[in-house]
Amino acid sequence: MLADSKLDPRLRVYAIWFNMYPGDARHRWPGTLLTDTRVRHYWDETRAIGQLYLQMLPTMWPKRSPDTVLPDADALWDAYVLYGRGAQWNDQHPEIVGWGSPILQTNEVLLRQLEQIER
């Protein structure tokens, strides 16, 4: 998706990985996924970011992709969360442009949202 795109080279993607299924582990994480140079990978052993996003769902819900599936775990995972240009996390999280889950089911909306940010 990213490698074939004409999206801005300044785009930043933060891929946050954590255990969700038995057998998931950092040492089993496939390094061949998301190899675009704009992607930064992080491992979240405690699922803290996924749990934070799950707590934020009530405020995020109106910006969801139409095909989003309601999470049924203790963390939001297999999801994208998109922020606009210049967004920074400070005391308050920045407003999101959109989000969706699972990614493969909502990736077309993600691409459209990315293209809108580019304009």
Q: What is the mean pLDDT of the chain?
A: 89
Average pLDDT over residues 41-65: 95
Percent of the chain predicted with pLDDT > 70: 96
* Band (5; pLDDT cuts 50, 70, 90): low
Percent of the chain predicted with pLDDT > 90: 57
Helix (H, G, I), strand (E, B) or coil at 51: helix
What digits encode the pLDDT tens for the residues 70-86?
999 999 999 999 999 88
* Band (40; pLDDT cuts 50, 70, 90): very high
In the numeric block, the tokens 């996003």 are attached to 53
- Is the full-model pTM beyond 0.85? yes
d(CA 16, CA 92): 20
Measured CA angle at 16 (ends 15, 21), to 5 deg:
120
Domain parsing of the chain, residue ranges:
13-118
What digits encode the pLDDT tens for the residues 23-36?
888 888 887 888 88
